Amino acid sequence: MTTPRPFGRALCAMITPFTDAGALDLDGAQRLADRLVTEGCDGLVLSGTTGEAPTTTNAEKAALVTAVREAVGERASVVAGVGTFDTRHTVELALAAEKAGADGLLVVSPYYSRPPQDALEAHFRAVADASGLPIVLYDIPARTGTRIEPDTMIRLAEHPRIVAVKDCSYDFLGTQKVLGRTELAYYAGCDEHNLALYAVGAAGYVSTVANVVPARIRAVIDVFEAGDTPVSARLQQQATPLIEAMMSAGLPGAVTAKALLNALGLPAGPVRAPFRPADRETADGLLAVYEQLMSA
């Protein structure tokens, strides 16, 4: 069976650049988006976890989609994060993203309220019914408090516009169950799973680390696709120290990605509260791990 790839294989969970004063930096977003696509990203996922979506306004989210669409044209897909804990608000954001030029919608489980599975299913169906765009379900229970259970995924896959999953469930068995019973395109949402999930039939990844090293992250699956599993495994292993430093060292990916991008002179700017920027020691440590990877 051919794996569906509705948004490509190599997607970046793009940070949202801000100016030094904390305003949305649309020029920086366009420059960063162009770099990411030029260096191998098939798609950009905006206003997700790494994009600090809870701290941006409705208008900022729409403006970001418009600006990035203008920067990348048809070279890459643009997926807009629209998920909130309010179904009505999520539908409003979905319609605004569609109008702004998005190709798809990333819809996270409603957080904080922790709806049961039947209510969760109804929420996703309502969003899918409201817009003409394809939907990526975002399963990240560590942040939302609610898992999209495999059986719920299987039922939701029957909806013609629910086409993909960003998988941060850390349930490899459950993921394989859904892969085997649906045509949902799975995207690894945790960089340490990029190769493993791809090897069992996923479409690709939505990577935070790709903000910094898009070509290195893409090379892992390109080499695997070319049939050289040992080399792809070695490339994944080489990237592991940076993945760990950025994603598992106690700071959110938005903080570590922006620290590195700023150190490299690339568009990023500050994070918005309640996040706080990485301190100098942490930023220097991240840069050292990055340089080690780039010299490998």
Q: Kindly report the CA angle at 277 between 271 and 280, in degrees rounded to 5?
A: 150
Nearest CA to 166 out of 144, 181, 158 is that of 144
Please return the burial class of 74, using the count of CB atoms within 10 Å of its CB with bins 0-12, 13-18 and 19+: exposed
Percent of the chain clearing pLDDT 70 (strictly above): 99
Among the ranges given (3-7, 156-160, 200-204, 279-283), the one the predictor scored with the smallest mean pLDDT: 3-7
Give CA–CA dist 61/53, Å, rounded. Answer: 8
Nearest CA to 236 out of 204, 294, 194 is that of 194
Query: Of the listed 138, 186, 198, 205, which one is catalytic?
Result: 138
pLDDT for residue 1: 54
The answer on pLDDT for 144 being more than 80 is yes
Quote the tokens at residue 269. Answer: 């700017």
Give CA–CA dist 5/274, Å, rounded. Answer: 35
177 is catalytic: no
Domain boundaries, the chain: 10-219
Q: Half-sphere exposure (CA, 13 Å, Cβ side) for 80?
A: 30
Percent of the chain clearing pLDDT 90 (strictly above): 97
Quote the tokens at residue 19. Answer: 């100016």
Residue entry with tokens 């366009």: 30
The answer on pLDDT for 2 being more than 80 is no
The pair phi, psi for residue 51, each rounded to 5°, is: -80, 10
Determine the topology of domain 10-219 in CATH.
TIM Barrel (3.20.20)
Give CA–CA dist 12/236, Å, rounded. Answer: 16
Q: Quote the longest CA-to-CA distance of the chain.
A: 50
Query: Of the listed 61, 99, 111, 166, which one is catalytic?
Result: 166
111 is catalytic: no
pLDDT in tens, 259-290: 999 999 999 999 999 999 999 999 999 999 99
Quote the tokens at residue 211. Answer: 């903000």
pLDDT in tens, 105-143: 999 999 999 999 999 999 999 999 999 999 999 999 999
